[in-house]
Amino acid sequence: MTFPLRTSRWTRILTSSRGPFEAEVTDEAVNVRMGWVGHAEIPIGHITRISTHRWPWFAGLGVRITKGMVAFVPAAGEGVVLEMDTPLVVHTPVAWETTRVLVGVADPAAFAEAVAARRAAG
């Protein structure tokens, strides 16, 4: 299943990327893509916790590196945090290691439900 990331009229200007801006949930992984700005491939088997977090506008847009987390947020608002049992290298656009990834999808509830269903099935 593919979920578009939340965008606003400022997204393309502030991130300088043409896309795709999406998160895809497969049987094996969650693949997050924000054009050339960054991407992550998160193995379903390594996800230990799913929660939500509200990303504020003043924290910036794009792929953001924060203390203990990498956020894929083309717009402010509610997002889904995926926590892993082992560190994962994501592109931000440089390689960065993290155990928590925030995904700013347009429909956080449906995205979290899809990831949880894949975890339960696997």
pLDDT digits 0-9 by tens, 19-56:
789 999 999 999 999 988 899 999 999 999 999 999 99
pLDDT digits (tens, 9 = 90+) for 61-70: 889 999 889 9
Could you list the residue range(s) of the whole structural domain that residue 56 is in?
2-121
- For residue 110, give Cα distances in angstroms to 1, 11, 23, 113, 114: 10, 22, 12, 5, 6
Rounded to whole angstroms, the Cα distance separating 65 from 69 reads 6
Residue 86: Cβ-neighbour burial (10 angstroms; 0-12, 13-18, 19+): exposed
How many structural domains is the chain composed of?
Answer: 1
- Give pLDDT, residue 11: 67
Res 14 pLDDT > 80: no
pTM, to two decimals: 0.92
Residue with tokens 């939500």: 52
pLDDT digits (tens, 9 = 90+) for 75-112: 999 999 999 999 999 999 899 999 999 999 999 999 99
